[in-house]
Amino acid sequence: MGSTKKQKEKKKDFQLKVGKTKAKPSNFTDTSFVAKILSKRNLDQETDLIKRLSLVKHHASTTRKETLIYIQEHLPENPSLYKQILNAVVPLIIDQSRSVRSALIDLLVHASEKQPNLMELHTRSIILFVHSAMTHIVPDIRNDSTKFLDVLIKFGPDSLVRSAWVKTLKSYFGLLSWTLNDTKQSVSLAITSSSVTNSSNKTKKQSLDSLIKFINTGCFPDESASGKQKIVLTSHPLTTKYLIPVTPQPFAHLKLFTVELSSKTNKNTTDNTIDLNTISCEDYLTRKKVLIEYFIPQIRKNSKNLVKEGGEVGKSAHTLLSVCDKVEESMKSTDL
């Protein structure tokens, strides 16, 4: 009798518990609303960040600087917003205020570290302002231009050397007051531009060091990347000729879709690199050929003069000469 009563009570308890969740403890705290608040807060921060972008055009340099610092401290997690941010801040590369340019460099570095492929995606638009800074009439803007270029070399090297090899080399020459040939007109222009720029030894060293990094980046593949491309075959020496190429423009030597480099100088101009504007420099071999034929002779001439001056500038110039030797030696081994 007693056992039957207990069975009925257990059955009743079971029926009451079916479909119900486990009872929560007395000290339980509901935190579901926290996620909603955080999501709303992130959305509000992104909205506020977009609104603040207009302040980068403010007439006061202090406001522009503080805006860049705020953007750096509140970079969004959403990668789609970075294009809008860059479009707003990149024109400040040629800002008149040194503090604003310095804040912009910090912002670009921080954004590149947070979004690793950011510079590779936007190099083509950023380099336009960098080239403008390298030829700017204001000396301070010219002096800081290589700092922005170094950011691209570090975080977007592949896109940089592929899309702006010749233009950037020519900009370096202008920055250093070097000429591309030895005509009287170009020498006179170099003397005039040198007197206008009047760059310090610190600025010269900075430009030379940046040029060294740029040449190394454009002429020599990254060791970690090249290691992945190595193909080890033991079957037959000619097997690699029938595999998919691992380098860009593998059939460039056939000259099917490329414009041949012209060794003749245009009679109407003193710039013997004018024909290079239509040349695609997407592969290492083409970039080396362009550098050796059009730029290295003048790099050697001017660097030797800087080596004679000695000091830190002379050391950097000596390193630049060594890099030129390395490029030419690599081309000799390729020809063999």
- Over residues 175-204, the mean pLDDT reads 66
Those residues whose C-beta lies under 8 Å from the C-beta of residue 10, and which sit 6 or more positions away, are none
- Mean pLDDT check: name the lowest of 171-175, 178-182, 224-228: 224-228
pLDDT above 70 (res 192): no
- Over residues 192-205, the mean pLDDT reads 67
- Residue 48: pLDDT band (50, 70, 90) is confident
- Over residues 137-143, the mean pLDDT reads 95
How far is it, in rounded angstroms, from Cα 226 to Cα 211?
A: 22
pLDDT at res. 49 = 87
- Over residues 94-123, the mean pLDDT reads 95
Those residues whose C-beta lies under 8 Å from the C-beta of residue 306, and which sit 6 or more positions away, are 204, 208, 313, 314, 316, 317
Q: How do the domains of the chain map onto residue ranges? A: 157-221+280-335
Burial of 52: CB neighbours in 10 Å, binned 0-12, 13-18, 19+:
middle
Q: Rounded to two decimals, what is the model's pTM?
A: 0.74
H-state helical runs in the chain:
2-17, 32-52, 61-73, 82-89, 98-114, 118-134, 139-155, 157-163, 165-175, 184-197, 201-219, 223-229, 284-290, 296-309, 311-335
- Residue 114: pLDDT band (50, 70, 90) is very high
How far is it, in rounded angstroms, from Cα 224 to Cα 221?
A: 9
How far is it, in rounded angstroms, from Cα 178 to Cα 181?
A: 9
- Residue 35: pLDDT band (50, 70, 90) is low
Reported as a single tens digit per residue, the pLDDT across 259-307 is: 555 544 444 444 555 567 677 788 889 999 999 999 999 999 999 999 9
How far is it, in rounded angstroms, from Cα 93 to Cα 87?
A: 12
Tell me which DSSP letter residue 250 carries.
Answer: T
